[in-house]
Amino acid sequence: MLVRKARLQDASNVYDLVNSLSGDGTLLKRAFAEICENIRDFIVAESDAGVFLGCGALHLYGPHLSEVRSIVVMPEAKGQGAGGRILNALIDEAEEHGIHSVCLFTRIPDFFFKYGFRTVEEKTELPDKIFKDCQTCPRLHRCDEVAMVRGRIPRISILGPRIEAEQLVRISG
């Protein structure tokens, strides 16, 4: 199995897989253009024969926080370790950027506990995530996802109400 950075040629597979789980609300529906624009955020797993097995993305909010997004594997690839390999590659990428706080929202927290994630009791402790995605989510007022974080919860925010971007530069720089 090969885990690698996605290329634009992977956009159709990523789009199809991510949106195959959007009908029931497991993942947010993504436009093909959005996948193409953000393809550099994605990691893909493929079999030794080059068959697409799954994907995941790392969204960077700033030096204080990143988010694992759209991590999903093909049904026929479940149990082969692709999800864990994708997740580890995303965590490694966050660390390469010097970001030690990685968050995610999920309905399958047991999978992520094995990789050092823990539950965040109040989703509002992650205002960047709330501001970026939750405002447009159809499940905004009836969210059934579990917020999780690996590393400490940031005390700052650049999108939400905690702190302005200019103050972040002074704090981190």
Establish how many alpha carbons lie within 13 A of residue 58's alpha carbon, considering only the half-sphere containing its beta carbon. Answer: 26
The CA dihedral of 88, 114, 25, 149, to the nearest 10 degrees, is -80
The answer to whether 84 and 115 have CB atoms below 8 angstroms apart is yes
**Closest Cα partner for 43 from 96, 3, 102?**
3
Which pair of tokens denotes residue 74? Answer: 């093909």
Which pair of tokens denotes residue 140? Answer: 């905004």
pLDDT at 169: 42
- Residue boundaries of the structural domains of the chain: 2-172
pLDDT at 42: 98
Question: What pTM was computed for the model?
Answer: 0.85
**Closest Cα partner for 82 from 113, 111, 121?**
111
The answer to whether 125 and 160 have CB atoms below 8 angstroms apart is no
**Cβ-Cβ contacts under 8 Å for 3 (sequence gap 6 or more):** 43, 44, 45, 82, 85, 86, 89
pLDDT at 166: 46
Digits of tens for pLDDT over the chain (173 positions)?
Answer: 999 999 999 999 999 999 998 877 677 788 999 999 999 999 999 999 999 999 999 999 989 999 999 999 999 999 999 999 999 999 999 999 999 999 999 988 999 999 999 999 888 788 677 666 666 666 666 777 889 999 998 777 776 554 444 444 444 44
From residue 167, give the alpha-carbon distance in Å to each of 156, 157, 158, 163, 171. 9, 10, 9, 7, 6
* Architecture of the domain defined by 2-172: 3-Layer(aba) Sandwich (3.40)
